[in-house]
Amino acid sequence: MNPVIVIPTYWAENDEPAVIGEVGTYDHATPIAKPVPELETCLGSLEQVRGVLRVVVLLVSPPSCADAARARVNGICSAHPNLNPLIIGNREAKIIENAIHVVAPKMEGETVSLRGYGAIRNMGLVVAAILGHDVVVFMDDDEIALDENFLVDAVYGLGLLTRQDLPVSAKSGYFFDRNDSCYADELNVPWCDRFWTKKTEFNDWMERAQQSTRISRSNYVCGGCFAIYADAFCHVAFDPYITRGEDMDYLFNLRMNGLDVWFDNQWAVRHLPPKTPSHAARFLQDVYRWTYEVEKLDVANHRIGLRRITSDSLEPYPSSWITPQIHKRIFLTSLLRAIAGPERSEYFHVWLHARSEARAWARRMSESYLSFQTYWPGMMSTLWCNAPLANAIMESGTPKLPRRRANRDHIEQDDMWEARGAGDTDSIPLDPEGQM
């Protein structure tokens, strides 16, 4: 196997909250002047990990601070030459986007770019294909690897078949928070969130997954601890139109195309997120996200050739979040948050206007992903191991590093992954419930 670690990193001039509803709003962005950025901590944790062949850093920043962000990220990556870092910023993204336009000239919109959660993930997949990596391991920059076996655990089971001949092509781990818990905090839920019960339902599912065998079918994707094999990521793209939750949405995309995500309860990272600048902005993104999921899945479930996705198959989470009852949850939660708590005017705006605007937008966009997805397999096939394109982005995106040691180190690493890819078996034990 030839795995690559892909890390999206988001930067801004300062830590002021983004305007609610603004395009390109992210959960958090690192201020340029932050003394110890999350990316530095993340890369530092990867220094202990065995078998790191390359780390691709997807640099996302507004035009106003693009040069400063590039200089800061270049300095961080230069301090970690052992990780063989490659920065994909605006220059490299432009090279890739021009190549995609040649390959798929009729494909419209920012579907593979450095703006929007899904499009950014797609950029990572495209870079991996161009460089010929057959496994993509996603991390977030506010997470750290827990031990030296992070990559060994990441590729465990990937590319193999179960006894029922089901391919293990995508696998999610999970994260521990600052308190060493993998569960959402239900103790500090305010009364105004009594209808926004995602934490409770998620915890019900996570408890079952933790008590199951190591590998089991997953209803959940942790985007910062997620491994995808080439037969999945070359066939199925992330949805570039979704506002957030692109990792969970990818589970739906895989299922409708006949693949599954599997959960590994022995593979985890630690999540150390900074303070969320605006909970109202995140809530608005969730309003658009879940409203869009309902419309998109309704269209997909009536499309010939796609596997049907039902809420019953996603119990206990996220079953109820992909049904029309989400509209009632949004109505009640936005109203209650407008009555009590901070950012009341923003929540009142959601209740009065934004929720209906989200439904209208979701109806308009409901077929967009399915149209885009028709281009993806052919595009990825054309870009796979594209040497001229790989040379171009490597020349542009490789930070200035100290002189590397002899290539013997890389040869030894390649041999390690070749040995792991060969294995002694071509199947994994699976019980009748679909668990390994």
pLDDT tens, the chain, 436 aa long: 899 999 999 999 876 655 544 445 677 789 999 999 999 999 999 999 999 999 999 999 999 899 999 999 999 999 999 999 999 999 999 999 999 999 998 888 899 999 999 999 999 999 999 999 999 999 999 999 999 999 999 999 998 887 778 899 999 999 999 999 999 998 888 899 999 999 999 999 999 999 999 999 999 999 999 999 999 999 999 999 999 999 999 999 999 999 999 999 999 999 999 888 788 989 999 999 999 999 999 999 999 999 999 999 999 999 999 999 999 999 999 999 999 888 999 999 999 999 999 999 999 999 999 999 999 999 999 999 999 999 999 999 999 755 544 444 444 444 445 444 433 333 334 443 444 4
Q: Encoding tokens for residue 378?
A: 């052919």
Q: Encoding tokens for residue 89?
A: 């910023």
Q: What is the pLDDT of residues 406-426, one digit of tens each?
A: 444 444 444 445 444 433 333
DSSP secondary structure string, 300-349? HHTSTTS----GGGGTTTTGGGGSTTHHHHHHHHHHHHHHSSS-HHHHHH
Q: Give the domains, in start order, of the chain with CATH numbers.
A: 3-277+373-422 (3.90.550.10)
Instruction: Report yes or no: 370 and 257 within 8 Å, Cβ to Cβ.
Output: no
Please list, in sequence order, all residues whose beta carbon lies within 8 angstroms of the beta carbon of residue 46, skipping any fewer than 6 positions away: 5, 52, 55, 80, 83, 145, 150
- What are the residue ranges of helices labelled H in 20-116? 38-46, 66-78, 90-103
Residue 409's pLDDT is what? Answer: 47
Q: Tell me: cis bond preceding 35? Omega within 30 of 0 counts.
A: no
**The residue type at 154:** A
Rounded to two decimals, what is the model's pTM? 0.90
- Quote helix, strand, coil % in the chain, to nearest 5: 45, 15, 40
Q: What are phi and psi of 217, to 5 degrees?
A: -60, 140
What count of other Cβ atoms lies within 10 Å of the Cβ of residue 65? Answer: 17
Residue 23's pLDDT is what? Answer: 43
Q: Tell me: cis bond preceding 316? Omega within 30 of 0 counts.
A: yes
The β-bridge relationship of strands 143-145 and 262-271 is antiparallel
Coil, strand or helix: which one is 135?
strand
Rounded CA gap, 102 and 68, in Å?
31
